[in-house]
Amino acid sequence: AAASLSGWGNLTDALYAANSPSRVWANLLLVSGEIFGREPADLWRIWNSINTRNNISGVTAWSDMRSPVAVVDKLAARNVSVFLSNNFEDRLFKPDAALRYRQILHGAGVPTLTMLNQGVHASAEMPGLVGKENAVFSRVKSFLDARLKRPAAPL
C-alpha cells in the first residue's frame, strides 16, 4: 500500500504546466527543502533551468523519472493499493492533476482511494504532520491498516 498526501502524479506537469512555472509555490518548495534538508542535490540547477527556459529536455527527463505515473505498471503488477489526498485550492500540485493520476491508476487496475479536501497545499494534512488528529490522517491510518494488517478489503 502507498499513500500520497498533497503529492503529484506527474512532476513535469506540476513544475512546468503549460510551459509556465509556478514561481511562488516552487520557491516555497525549494525553501522548505533547504529547511528540512531533503532536497535533491540538483534541485536548484533544475529550477534555474526552468526559470531561464534552458535545457527543458533535461528538466523533463529529470522530472519524468520522479513521477509516480512512470511506475503505474509496477504498482499494478504488485497489486499495490494507493491512497491519494489533495486539496481543492492547491496551486502547487493541483487537484485536477491528482484526479488525472487517479484515472491512470484506475485504468491500470490499481485499487485507489481518493480524498479531496478544503484548503491549499498540505493544509488538510498539516495537523496530522504535527501529531494532531485529523480526518486525512485518520483515513490514511484506516487505509493502511486495512491493506497491511490483514488481507486487502474492497475500497
We report the CATH number of the domain holding residue 83 as 3.40.50.1820
Residues 135 and 73 both lie in one domain: yes
What is the structure's pLDDT at 69? 96
Q: What is the pLDDT of residue 150?
A: 65
Q: Are residues 6 and 79 in the same domain?
A: yes
What cell numbers appear for 154 in the block?
A: 474492497
Does 154 reside within a domain?
A: no
The count of structural domains within the chain is 2
pLDDT score at 51? 83
**Does 27 lie in the same domain as 53?**
yes
In this structure, is residue 92 part of a structural domain? yes
- The confidence score (pLDDT) of residue 123 equals 92
50 and 113 belong to one structural domain = no
72 in the same domain as 61: no
Burial of 76 (0-12, 13-18, 19+ CB in 10 A): middle
**DSSP letter for each residue of 14-74:** HHHGGG---HHHHHHHHHHHHHHT---TTHHHHHHHHHHT-SHHHHHHHHHHT-GGGGHHH
Last residue of a domain, one of 20, 40, 65: 65
Enclosing domain of residue 133: 2-10+68-148
Whether residues 6 and 16 fall in one domain: no
pLDDT at 39: 76
Which H or E run includes 2?
Answer: strand 2-5
At 42 the pLDDT is 84
Please say whether the beta carbons of 93 and 5 come within 8 A: no
> Are residues 60 and 73 located together in one domain of the fold?
no
- State whether 51 and 79 are in the same domain: no
Residues 6 or more apart in contact with residue 118 via CB below 8 angstroms: 87, 88, 89, 124
Residue 118 is classified by DSSP as S
Nearest of 70, 63, 13, 25 to residue 43 by alpha carbon = 63
pLDDT of residue 155: 65
In order along its 155 residues, the chain shows pLDDT tens digits of 999 999 989 988 887 777 777 777 778 778 887 888 777 778 888 888 888 888 989 988 988 999 999 999 999 999 999 999 999 999 888 899 999 999 999 999 999 999 999 999 889 999 998 999 999 999 999 999 999 986 666 66
